[in-house]
Amino acid sequence: MFDPHASQPVTVNLPATGVFVLESHHARGFRMEPVRHDYLKVLLIFSGAGWLVRPDHRVPLSAGDVVLVPAGTRHHIEDEGARPLALYALCLAQRPFAASSELFSAFRHFPAPVWNVEWRSLIRHLLHEQTLARPGADLMITGLAWQALGHLARAAERRPPTVAPKPGQPALARVTAYAEELARTFYHRQSVDAAARSLGLSRRHFTQLFRTATGETWLAAIQRHRLTHARLLLRETGRSVTSIGYECGFEDVTTFYRTFRAAEDTSPLAWRIRNHPVRSGAVSPSGRKPAQARRTGP
């Protein structure tokens, strides 16, 4: 549902999926009375500024923020007069979503998290499926909602960055948070230009700040994370080298071999043989258990 000039909140009637997404652009003079919903609500602030007001706290809202409002939380939204809010709201029935984790019973505010780009993409996809209502839309909508909540679950458990941003350098703080996030997103297809754009920085400024925050280049960090995961999979699983390279974010096996050899001075397969000896009952590099020797004699 889209309201181009909302003067009051939209009434939400959850469908059978238990998932509903609304988009609202507040008009000047928007008013919302304190309410309690019987569903979980997650807000993504698109633009503008304001506050989410609870009985004991006023939470400032600005573009990029994500806010989780548990079911039963008394709250209302106030706009900053000159900059009315535009937002998405993901509304979820208490079951099965909110009942799946204690995370969703606590109010949480994520100020412009790095992962809000992916979250916005999920919301856009949800809106698309909700609008077109094609065959299979219910399954797609439910799956996308779980993905959205997965981001929240991981963000809630995330430790603060290990590299503290310097006072007065918000750009460095954003790059530092992005660098921390790479440990979880290294397998995505990405580029340094796209990373810089996502943080509102030029390529040159981004690369300078990235080196300041981490002590290494963006490409070196990406490859370090990918190779660390590759070594884990080579050592602990029997999956094919091609499959492992793909999971780690390499677009083709040739690039994986070349990058791995540059780091280890040997091929992934040779490294696996040296570091993953076949044991009785273990999985071999081919993905099959070794045949047990037949007993002969009495």
Provide the pLDDT for residue 285. Answer: 41
Provide the pLDDT for residue 11. Answer: 79
Q: Are residues 237 and 195 in the same domain?
A: yes
Q: Are residues 213 and 113 in the same domain?
A: no
Provide the pLDDT for residue 282. Answer: 40
Q: Are residues 21 and 132 in the same domain?
A: yes
Q: Are residues 191 and 105 in the same domain?
A: no
Domain boundary among 131, 157, 183: 157
Q: What are the average pLDDT values for consecutive 10-residue runs of the chain, which has 298 residues?
A: 59 90 89 92 93 94 92 94 91 76 81 81 90 92 92 74 51 88 84 86 94 95 95 91 91 93 96 72 41 38
Q: Are residues 122 and 55 in the same domain?
A: yes
Provide the pLDDT for residue 158. Answer: 63
- Cis (ω within 30 of 0) for the bond into 285? no
* Domain span at 52: 2-157
Domain boundary among 130, 157, 184: 157
Provide the pLDDT for residue 1. Answer: 43
- How many helices (DSSP H) and strands (DSSP E) are in the chain? 9, 9
Provide the pLDDT for residue 294. Answer: 38
Provide the pLDDT for residue 4. Answer: 52
Provide the pLDDT for residue 5. Answer: 59
What residue type is assigned to position 135 of the chain?
Answer: P
Q: Are residues 145 and 218 in the same domain?
A: no
Provide the pLDDT for residue 154. Answer: 81
- Position 257 in a domain: yes
| Distance, CA of 12 to CA of 92 (rounded, Å) | 10
Domain boundary among 129, 157, 185: 157
- Position 281 in a domain: no
**CATH number of the domain bearing residue 198:** 1.10.10.60
Q: Are residues 260 and 208 in the same domain?
A: yes
